Amino acid sequence: MTPTKITPAALRAMKSRGEKIAALTAYDCPMARLLDEAGVPFILVGDSLSMVVLGFPDTTHVTMADMEHHTRAVARAKPQALVVADMPFRSYETVTSAVENAKRLVAAGAEAVKAEGGRAIIEQVRAIVAAGIPFCGHLGMLPQHVLEEGGYKVKGKIETEHQALLADADALVAAGAFAMVLELVTRPVAAEITKRIPIPTIGIGAGADCDGQILVTPDLLGMLPWFNLKHVKPKLNAAEQMRTVVREWMDEVKAARAR
């Protein structure tokens, strides 16, 4: 049977059926193919590539050119999964720039875009949706604001944050978002938002009550041993396996030269 192409509507249908959504990141064609062959329905070309691939300390360094380049690489895998691309730092400060840059990502192969914020960017969201581009929201801890906030902080612990998150979620739904990521939101607030809105919530460090979960794939595979993240339990120790294989191969090379 021919696999069915995943669409934003398909993800909303998964929520209505109570079917959990598994989402992972990809930054290149081989990883996108592997994730797609595993059946992952939602592939994010995340601006996390700033740290994971490009070696920067946070996501504020990644550019539109970077995002276009990696989106093209992922799109070449022609996955059945929905390909969503992050709008990078300062690429959606105005309505005009938001629409122009969202169109650039779609031209590069994205089937939807994601940006951080709720009511603060709601006009940009409306304009992107009006342009016919599916939009995924991102609430809670906003990595692109890490410098001004002084670090990565859990959101929803105090009542003002709680109410702001509810208002932002409602605003994104009203503006036409098809899903939203909830990052580092307290579990009770994430659960409340998930029950409150008709579109899927995709959690990361926000508890198990969300409609789905997303992780940075190298974190899941244990490829980044230099970082210790509380919300991730690696399923592999790929970094050590890779080092072992490389050393074995180097020994084979040296042994062959000795003969």
What's the pTM value of the predicted model, to 2 decimals? Answer: 0.93
Catalytic residue among 183, 192, 240, 248: 183
Mean pLDDT calculated for residue range 2-18: 92
- Catalytic, 183? Answer yes
How high is the mean pLDDT of the chain?
94
Phi, psi of 159 (to 5 degrees): -65, -35
Q: pLDDT tens-digit profile of 121-145? A: 999 999 999 999 999 999 999 999 9
Tens-digit pLDDT profile for residues 91-108: 999 999 999 999 999 999
User: Is residue 82 predicted with pLDDT exceeding 80?
Assistant: yes
Which residues, at least 6 apart from 80, have a Cβ–Cβ distance to it below 8 Å? 3, 4, 5, 6, 36, 41
Instruction: Supply 163's token pair.
Output: 């109410």
> Mind listing the pLDDT tens digit for each residue in 24-41?
999 999 999 999 999 999
List domains and CATH numbers for the chain.
Answer: 8-220 (3.20.20.60)
Which single residue is written with the structure tokens 């059946």?
39
Task: Please give the pLDDT value at position 201.
Answer: 98
Q: What is the pLDDT of residue 85?
A: 98
